[in-house]
Amino acid sequence: MNVVVEAEEQDWAALVRRVDRDKDKAAFAALFRHFAPRVKAFLMKSGAGEALAEECTQEVMATLWQKAHMFDPSRASVSTWIYTIARNRKIDALRRQRRPEPEDLPWGPEAEPDQAEVMTLQQESEKLAKAMKKLPEKQRKLIEKAYFGDLSHSEIAAETGLPLGTIKSRIRLALERLRHAMG
pLDDT of residue 7 exceeding 70, the answer is no
pLDDT digits (tens, 9 = 90+) for 10-53: 589 999 999 999 999 999 999 999 999 999 999 988 888 898 89
Domain 2-98 belongs to what architecture?
Answer: Orthogonal Bundle (1.10)
Q: Where do the structural domains in the chain lie, given as residue ranges?
A: 2-98, 134-183
Q: Which architecture characterizes domain 134-183 according to CATH? A: Orthogonal Bundle (1.10)
CA distance 38 to 16: 17
Q: Span 109-120, mean pLDDT? A: 74
Q: Let me know if the fold of 2-98 is the same as that of 134-183.
A: no
DSSP 80-91: HHHHHHHHHHHH
Mean pLDDT for the stretch of residues 111-136: 82
Task: Report how far residue 162's alpha carbon sits from residue 155's, in angstroms, rounded to the nearest whole number.
Answer: 10
